[in-house]
Amino acid sequence: MTPAALSEEARQVRRRILTTIRAAGLGHVGGDLSVTDILTTLFFSVLAIDPADPEKADRDRFILSKGHCAAALYTVLARRGFFAEEELDTFMQPLSRLNGHPNRRKVPGVEANTGPLGHGLPIAVGAAIGSGIRKLGFRAFCVLGDGELQEGSNWEAAMFAGHRKLSNLTAIVDRNGLQQGARTADTNDLSPLADKFTAFGWEVREVDGHDHAALLDVLSRPGDGKPVFVLARTVKGKGVSFIEDRVEWHHKVPSAGEVEAALKELA
């Protein structure tokens, strides 16, 4: 897709996220909206995947480590053709396979069960190593929340990935500056984040996480002898003015009137 087409696709994804969460009465709308442009760019223009053959051996692996933003992932997977979009109407309902956190045994296109934070990057490191061992040549991608980087398991994985020079590994942090209940800087300041990953042996690329052309550029290129860390600066709740950069919208569910107002903004 062109950047313009990706922008339009992301707009439609945001609209569907809002109606899906409203119908379910549960979800993490702020983080879903902040990560939308990253997921849209990956699934529609970067990842080597085939919805008709989701278990293809040499497919690229994508892991959403911030698994609480499952509504965004499910919406993108549905629109990419991994399952019928109508199934989004069952999100979080009893016996639905579209749980509040993604399950790889139930949903095609999901590579790892995530929810407990700090697990996705270690899994992605293992996938990147496995690609080399099996000589399959696929790339591994992982999207993390910035608050999630307070988990020590991420730093163990980052250290090992740098040591192994995993140039087929790309980690993207959804750097919206907010986590549940507070700003990340007030909870446990991550700065200087780029310098930290550089010190661990990664190639760091900073980008506007809502600029599809810039995202397409930085995500399409594997590392030059190093794993790639993409510091994507985003706005929590992007696209809806009364949700943007508001900590209370981490998992607040919009009312019917709020959804109507949001959809007008995204028209």
Q: Which residue has the tokens 């794993």?
A: 227
| Domains of the chain, earliest start first | 3-265 (3.40.50.970)
**Mean pLDDT confidence for 241-264:** 97
Where does the chain have alpha helices with state H? 3-24, 29-41, 70-80, 120-133, 152-164, 184-188, 193-199, 212-220, 256-265
Place of tokens 């990560």: 35
pLDDT at 90: 98
DSSP state, residue 18? H
| CA 36 to each of CA 105, 148, 185, 232, 238: distance values in angstroms, whole numbers, following the listed order | 24, 18, 23, 12, 9
User: What pTM was estimated for this model as a whole?
Assistant: 0.98
Q: Give the Cα separation of 194 and 84 in Å (integer).
A: 39
Please tell me the predicted confidence (pLDDT) of residue 14: 98
| Cα torsion 103, 107, 112, 115: sign | negative
pLDDT in tens, 66-80: 999 999 999 999 999
pLDDT tens-place string over residues 26-68: 999 999 999 999 999 999 999 999 999 999 999 999 999 999 9
Q: How far is CA 122 from CA 53, 117, 154, in A?
A: 25, 11, 7
